[in-house]
Amino acid sequence: MTAPLLEGSGITKRFKRGGESFAAVDDASLTLGLGETLAVVGPSGSGKSTLARLVLRLLEPDAGAIRFEGEDWLALSGGTLRHKRARMQAVFQDPLAAFNPRATVESAIADPLRIHAVAPRTQRREQIAELLRRVGLDPALSSRTIHEISGGQRQRVAIARALASHPRLVVLDEATSALDVSVRGQVLDLLARLQAEENLSYLFISHDLAVVHRFAHHVAVMDGGRIVETGTVDAVISDPQSRIARTLLAAAPRLNRKA
Ligand SMILES: Nc1ncnc2c1ncn2[C@@H]1O[C@H](COP(=O)(O)OP(=O)(O)O)[C@@H](O)[C@H]1O
Ligand SMILES: [Mg+2]
């Protein structure tokens, strides 16, 4: 077996709340293979986004180790980290917050092409058109501004921007949660197709077990900062071991086979 793409162990992050320190992420360990989707599920406040931010190094952990593509990911800094960030990208819940709403679609996607020097300037326009086609958007959209396009289109632009630097891993933090059900299905289909085409790996943060069932291979269940259960999606859904997995399952009636 080849080494996993992402491997975290003992990841811990403490915050202060009302003067007291608490662990928002508490001794979390996870493994994600190439071309796989690991879902992280849990109720609001269980530490999912904090874990995502730690993996992305938008936050530094107080303890623990993270290996990415065989390297000590936490040891990287400066230019090496910037360079390597191309390989790990993110899409968040709210695309309006992620973009300058007055920016054009073209400039939103051009940023990573420029920062990661993926394409020479003369080829940038063609690369942007190609990225838009890959996420199912008409390249003619590139002159529109972010606030002029629909929520689903914006999330596709966010995916195109994430793909621009040729990542191996995309962290999706509630990336489809704000979308209408039908649009959400289309974006999930797109993500699945991109995964199959490029052997992409996803760390898929969600509070919705029904979406996770459809989309992920493995799942880690979080509660109070701790990962309380891990397994294949089918195993966790058919035979949940933790109280919180049973609660999440009860909230997803279509999945709840015992109901
Ligand atoms: N920057 C921060 N400072 C202090 N507390 C935080 C910060 N970020 C998150 N928290 C707290 O950490 C806990 C986990 O939050 P979060 O990771 O956002 O959970 P989730 O994404 O599962 O809803 C919550 O209690 C939240 O209030
Ligand atoms: Mg969150």
Q: What is the DSSP string of 116-163?
A: TT-S-GGGHHHHHHHHHHHTT--GGGGGSBGGGS-HHHHHHHHHHHHH
Section 104-115 average pLDDT: 90
Q: Is the CB of 206 under 6 A from ligand 1?
A: no
Task: Report the separation in Å between the CA atom of 246 and the middle of ligand 1, taken as the mean of its atom positions.
Answer: 23
Task: Report the separation in Å between the CA atom of 175 and the middle of ligand 2, taken as the mean of its atom positions.
Answer: 10
What one-letter code names the amino acid at 11?
I
pLDDT at 2 over 80: no
What local confidence, expressed as pLDDT, does residue 87 receive? 97
For residue range 164-220, list pLDDT tens digits in order: 999 999 999 999 999 999 999 999 999 999 999 999 999 999 999 999 999 999 999
Instruction: Mark the residues whose beta carbon lies below 5 A from ion ligand 2.
Output: 48-49
What local confidence, expressed as pLDDT, does residue 232 receive? 97
What local confidence, expressed as pLDDT, does residue 122 receive? 83
What Cα–Cα distance (Å) separates residue 211 from each residue in 34, 67, 139, 142, 177?
21, 27, 29, 30, 9
pLDDT at 258 over 60: no
- Whose structure tokens read 């649009």? 183
Helix (H) / strand (E) element for 105: namely: helix 105-115
Residue 50, classed as helix, strand or coil, is helix
For residue range 66-88, list pLDDT tens digits in order: 999 999 999 999 999 999 999 99
pLDDT confidence of 227, banded at 50, 70, 90? very high
In terms of Cα–Cα distance, which of 199, 117, 230 is closest to 164? Answer: 117
In terms of Cα–Cα distance, which of 37, 49, 38, 42 is closest to 13? Answer: 49
Q: Could you tell me which residues are beta bridge partners of residue 218?
A: 38, 232
Question: Which residue has its alpha carbon closest to ligand 1 atom 2?
Answer: 15
Q: Is the CB of 48 under 6 A from ligand 1?
A: yes
| Residue of 16, 50, 59, 204 to test ligand 1 pocket, by largest number of atoms within 8 Å of CB | 50
pLDDT confidence of 96, banded at 50, 70, 90? confident
Q: Is the CB of 15 under 6 A from ligand 1?
A: yes
Q: Is the CB of 24 under 6 A from ligand 1?
A: yes
What local confidence, expressed as pLDDT, does residue 259 receive? 43
> What are the structural domain ranges in the chain?
1-87+169-259, 100-166
Q: Is the CB of 7 under 6 A from ligand 1?
A: no
Give dist(CA 42, CA 112) in Å, integer.
31
For residue range 20-61, list pLDDT tens digits in order: 999 999 999 999 999 999 999 999 999 999 999 999 999 999
For residue range 239-250, list pLDDT tens digits in order: 999 999 999 999
Look up the CATH number of domain 1-87+169-259: 3.40.50.300
pLDDT confidence of 97, banded at 50, 70, 90? confident
Number of residues that this document lists for the chain: 259
pLDDT at 113 over 90: no
pLDDT at 5 over 90: yes
What local confidence, expressed as pLDDT, does residue 1 receive? 52
Section 114-120 average pLDDT: 78
What local confidence, expressed as pLDDT, does residue 254 receive? 78
